Amino acid sequence: MDTPGRAWLWRSWRMMTPTITRWAVPSVHDPALALTGRDGPVLATPNLRVHALPLGVSNAYLVESAQGVILVDAGLPLCEEIILARLAALGRNDLQLIVITHAHVDHYGSAAAVRRATGAAIAVHHADAADMAAGRTRLGSIRAWGWTQPTLPLMEPLLRVEPTDADLLLNEGPLPGALGLDARIVHLPGHTPGSCALLVEGQYAFIGDLISTNGAAHVQRSYAQDWRQVAASVEKLRGCRPAQSFPGHGPAGLTGATLAKLALDGPARRAACQNMA
Per-residue CA distances from 1 to 57, 113, 131, 149, 164 (Å): 21, 11, 21, 25, 15
The answer to whether 123 touches 167, Cβ cutoff 8 Å, is yes
Residues 50-69 that bind Zn ion (CB under 5 A): 58
Please report how close the Cβ of residue 193 comes to Zn ion at its closest, in angstroms. Answer: 12
Binding-site string for Zn ion from residue 247 to residue 266, where x marks contact by CB under 5 A and - marks none: -x------------------
How many residues are listed for the chain in this entry?
Answer: 277
Q: Does 131 bind Zn ion (CB under 5 A)?
A: no
- Looking at the Cβ atoms of 67 and 149, the one nearer to Zn ion is 149
- Ranked by CB distance to Zn ion, the top (closest) residue is 104
Closest by Cα among 78, 124, 76, 128 to 100: 124
Binding-site string for Zn ion from residue 178 to residue 217, where x marks contact by CB under 5 A and - marks none: -------------------------------x--------
Question: 111-118 and 80-89 are packed helices; what angle lies between their axes, rounded to 10 degrees?
Answer: 40
> Which part of the chain contacts Zn ion (CB under 5 A), choosing from 44-52, 105-113, 153-161, 225-233?
105-113
Please report how close the Cβ of residue 109 comes to Zn ion at its closest, in angstroms. Answer: 10
- Looking at the Cβ atoms of 44 and 134, the one nearer to Zn ion is 134
- Among positions 14, 51, 104, 125, the unique one binding Zn ion when judged by CB under 5 A: 104
Q: Does 226 bind Zn ion (CB under 5 A)?
A: no
Residues lying near Zn ion in the complex (CB under 5 A)? 58, 104, 106, 209, 248
